[in-house]
A and B are shown apart, each in its own frame.
Chain A
Amino acid sequence: MVKTDIKIGGLNLKNPVLTASGTFGYGLEFADFVNLEKLGGFIVKGTTLNPREGNPYPRSAETPMGMLNAVGLQNKGVDYFAENIYPKLKDLDTNVIVNVSGACIEDYVACAEKVNALEKIPAIELNISCPNVKQGGMAFGVQPKSAAEVVAAVRKAYDKTLIVKLSPNVTDITEIARAVEDAGADSVSLINTLLGMAIDSEKRRPILSTITGGMSGPAVKPIALRMVWQVAKAVKIPVIGIGGITNGRDAVEFLLAGASAVEIGTANFMNPAVTGEIVDYIEDYLVRHNMSSIDELIGGLQI
Chain B
Amino acid sequence: MKKFLVDLKIKEVEKLNDTCVLLTMTDEKPLPECRPGQFAELRVDETPSVMLRRPISVHSYDAEKNEIGFLIQVVGDGTRWLGMLQKGDTVNVLLPLGNGFTIPEDSNARLLLIGGGVGCAPLYGLAQELKRLGRNFAILIGARSAKDLYRCNEYSALGRVEYTTEDGSCGEKGYVTNHSIMSEKFDYIYTCGPKPMMMAVAKYAKEHGIGCEVSLENKMACGLGACLCCVEDTTTGNRCVCTDGPVFSIEELKW
**How distant is A64 from chain B, measured CB to nearest CB, in Å?**
5
Q: Would you call B222 an interface residue if the criterion is a C-beta within 8 Å of the partner chain's C-beta atoms?
A: yes
Asked whether, in the complex, the Cβ of B228 is within 8 Å of the Cβ of A30, the reply is no
A60 to B119, CA, bound (A): 22
Across-interface contacts of B214 in A (CB, < 8 A):
none
Q: Would you call A303 an interface residue if the criterion is a C-beta within 8 Å of the partner chain's C-beta atoms?
A: no
Query: Which of B51, B223, B231 is A57 in contact with, Cβ under 8 Å?
Result: B231
Known: A53-B238, A57-B232, A269-B221. A69 touches B48 (CB 8 A): no
Known: A53-B237, A65-B48, A272-B94. A59 touches B224 (CB 8 A): no
A32 to B52, CA, bound (A): 19
Of the listed residues B4, B221, B232, B237, the one surrounded by the most CB atoms of chain A closer than 10 A to its CB is: B221
Q: Would you call A67 an interface residue if the criterion is a C-beta within 8 Å of the partner chain's C-beta atoms?
A: yes
Which residue of chain B has its CB nearest to the CB of A217? B51
Q: Would you call B53 an interface residue if the criterion is a C-beta within 8 Å of the partner chain's C-beta atoms?
A: yes
Query: Which of A45, A64, A74 is B238 in contact with, Cβ under 8 Å?
Result: A74
Q: Would you call A24 an interface residue if the criterion is a C-beta within 8 Å of the partner chain's C-beta atoms?
A: yes
A15-56 vs B, CB cutoff 8 Å, 1 = contact: the mask equals: 000000011110001101100000000000100000001101
Within 8 A of B (CB), among A249-279: 266, 268-273
Within 8 A of A (CB), among B195-250: 218-219, 221-233, 237-238
Asked whether, in the complex, the Cβ of A218 is within 8 Å of the Cβ of B51, the reply is yes
Determine the interface band of chain B, counting residues with CB < 8 A from chain A.
Answer: 20 to 34
Asked whether, in the complex, the Cβ of A269 is within 8 Å of the Cβ of B222, the reply is yes
Asked whether, in the complex, the Cβ of A69 is within 8 Å of the Cβ of B227, the reply is yes
Determine the interface band of chain A, counting residues with CB < 8 A from chain B.
Answer: 20 to 34
Within 8 A of B (CB), among A58-113: 58-62, 64-67, 69, 71, 74
**How distant is B48 from chain A, measured CB to nearest CB, in Å?**
7
Across-interface contacts of A268 in B (CB, < 8 A):
222, 226
Asked whether, in the complex, the Cβ of A269 is within 8 Å of the Cβ of B4, the reply is no
A56 to B237, CA, bound (A): 11
Across-interface contacts of B52 in A (CB, < 8 A):
62, 67, 269-270
Asked whether, in the complex, the Cβ of B225 is within 8 Å of the Cβ of A25, the reply is yes
Asked whether, in the complex, the Cβ of A62 is within 8 Å of the Cβ of B50, the reply is yes
Asked whether, in the complex, the Cβ of B227 is within 8 Å of the Cβ of A269, the reply is yes
Across-interface contacts of B238 in A (CB, < 8 A):
53-54, 57, 74
Q: Would you call B3 an interface residue if the criterion is a C-beta within 8 Å of the partner chain's C-beta atoms?
A: yes
Known: A32-B2, A57-B232. A64 touches B222 (CB 8 A): no
A64 to B50, CA, bound (A): 7
Q: Would you call B49 an interface residue if the criterion is a C-beta within 8 Å of the partner chain's C-beta atoms?
A: yes
Known: A62-B50, A62-B51, A67-B51. A29 touches B224 (CB 8 A): yes
A22 to B231, CA, bound (A): 14
A272-297 vs B, CB cutoff 8 Å, 1 = contact: the mask equals: 11000000000000000000000000
Query: Which of B3, B48, B231 is A59 in contact with, Cβ under 8 Å?
Result: B231
**How distant is B235 from chain A, measured CB to nearest CB, in Å?**
13
Query: Which of B49, B226, B232 is A64 in contact with, Cβ under 8 Å?
Result: B49
Which residue of chain B has its CB nearest to the CB of A73? B228
Query: Which of A23, A269, A272 is B5 in contact with, Cβ under 8 Å?
Result: A272
Q: Would you call B15 an interface residue if the criterion is a C-beta within 8 Å of the partner chain's C-beta atoms?
A: no
**How distant is B175 from chain A, measured CB to nearest CB, in Å?**
23
**How distant is A24 from chain B, measured CB to nearest CB, in Å?**
6
Across-interface contacts of B221 in A (CB, < 8 A):
60, 67, 69, 266, 269
Which residue of chain B has its CB nearest to the CB of A273? B5
Across-interface contacts of A22 in B (CB, < 8 A):
227-228
Across-interface contacts of A60 in B (CB, < 8 A):
219, 221, 227, 229-230
Across-interface contacts of B231 in A (CB, < 8 A):
54, 57, 59, 74
Q: Would you call B43 an interface residue if the criterion is a C-beta within 8 Å of the partner chain's C-beta atoms?
A: yes
A29 to B3, CA, bound (A): 10
Across-interface contacts of A65 in B (CB, < 8 A):
48, 51
Known: A62-B52, A272-B224. 4 other contacts (CB 8 A): A32-B3, A57-B232, A60-B221, A269-B53
The 17 listed contacts between A and B (C-beta, < 8 Å) are: A22-B228, A25-B226, A29-B225, A32-B2, A32-B4, A57-B230, A59-B229, A60-B227, A61-B219, A62-B52, A64-B48, A74-B238, A266-B221, A269-B52, A270-B43, A271-B43, A273-B5
B interface residues (Cβ-Cβ under 8 A, vs A): 2-5, 43, 48-53, 94, 218-219, 221-233, 237-238
